[in-house]
A and B are shown apart, each in its own frame.
Chain A
């Protein structure tokens, strides 16, 4: 095959790029990669395509992650995940009787970070979320609570104490409902 003839990109590489890229970038990035490989010998062109793809795709995904990342939502993710994991660690029937130590809490943090990173990458593939003003206000109040009242309560009761308090309230109310003879 000589110069000037159209060279098709490697099918596997193209499929991987198509699978990895966010939908809004697929069309023009694949087109650009294909245009750049034209004019070279087939083998060199395919090699060029793979090299370009390896250099380009991670940058595009990272750029999307940073563009979609919202500091408030990131904070919300972190606190929610932490509470969920800590709650599970404390109240799961499989883990009853296990004393929650600093080491276990550190492991919870690693899990939390892993889930948050996963969520951030997932966000890069979704259309940009426009936060509703009411939700925005609620979020601001929630973050205000966490950053002002939260540390005081944590210092007073400890983080796990707060989780336990919420859990106990919930279970007590449920028990009252089930065992109340007047009902």
Chain B
């Protein structure tokens, strides 16, 4: 199995945003989606750019410039796509989060009874 790099929580958010946006993943849309996912925390556009840059270096995402668009003053958009390494890292992070959740649920059920634990699910 190839060794994959881990990704942090903000990277997970950005990767999820790109995956859900499909062909429409560029700076502004990614930022909107990340803000929606990260509620109630606030994420700046600068933080999204920094994370995208870092993930591009890691090989998690790739980018390309589109044709200039009139609604942006004739400027291009930089579109992003999740690469295989990014998908793998996201899958591993999600699996870890699920394991943590399962362990936590067991503890909660043990402490406060099955009913309370069910409510968490």
| Chain A residues packing against B (C-beta within 8 Å) | 6, 8-9, 25, 27-36, 38, 52, 55-60, 62-64, 67
**A35 proximity list for chain B (CB < 8 A):** 28, 71-72
Q: A31-B72, A31-B73 in contact; A59/B47 too (CB < 8 A)?
A: yes
**A-contact bits for B1-29, CB 8 A (1 contact / 0 none):** 00000000000000000000000001110
Asked if B75 is at the interface (CB within 8 A of a chain A CB), the reply is yes
Asked if B33 is at the interface (CB within 8 A of a chain A CB), the reply is no
**A6 proximity list for chain B (CB < 8 A):** 71
Contact B27 A32 (CB under 8 A): yes
Query: B77 touches which one: A25, A31, A38 (CB < 8 A)?
Result: A31
**A27 proximity list for chain B (CB < 8 A):** 65, 75-76, 78
Q: A28-B27, A34-B75, A35-B72 in contact; A63/B54 too (CB < 8 A)?
A: yes
Query: Contact size class for B?
Result: 20 to 34
- The answer for the CA separation of A36 and B46 in the assembled complex, in Å, is 13
Contact B75 A36 (CB under 8 A): no
List 22 contacting pairs A-B, 8 Å CB cutoff, sorted by A: A9-B73, A27-B76, A27-B78, A28-B26, A28-B78, A29-B27, A31-B75, A31-B77, A32-B27, A32-B72, A34-B75, A35-B72, A36-B28, A56-B44, A56-B45, A56-B49, A58-B46, A59-B49, A59-B50, A67-B53, A67-B54, A67-B57
Contact A60 B46 (CB under 8 A): yes
**B27 proximity list for chain A (CB < 8 A):** 28-29, 31-32
Task: Give me the 8 closest cross-chain CB pairs, A-B, nearest first.
Answer: A59-B46, A31-B75, A28-B78, A32-B27, A31-B72, A56-B46, A63-B50, A63-B53
B119 to A: closest C-beta gap in Å:
39
- The answer for the CA separation of A30 and B27 in the assembled complex, in Å, is 11
| Chain B residues packing against A (C-beta within 8 Å) | 26-28, 44-47, 49-50, 53-54, 57, 65, 69, 71-73, 75-78
**A56 proximity list for chain B (CB < 8 A):** 44-46, 49
In chain A, what residue has the closest Cβ to B72? A31
Q: A28-B77, A55-B44 in contact; A34/B72 too (CB < 8 A)?
A: yes
A84 to B: closest C-beta gap in Å:
32
B41 to A: closest C-beta gap in Å:
15
Contact A36 B45 (CB under 8 A): yes
Query: A28 touches which one: B46, B50, B71, B76 (CB < 8 A)?
Result: B76
**A64 proximity list for chain B (CB < 8 A):** 53
In chain A, what residue has the closest Cβ to B52? A63
Contact B65 A28 (CB under 8 A): yes
- The answer for the CA separation of A59 and B50 in the assembled complex, in Å, is 7
In chain A, what residue has the closest Cβ to B56? A67
- The answer for the CA separation of A127 and B69 in the assembled complex, in Å, is 26
**A29 proximity list for chain B (CB < 8 A):** 27, 49
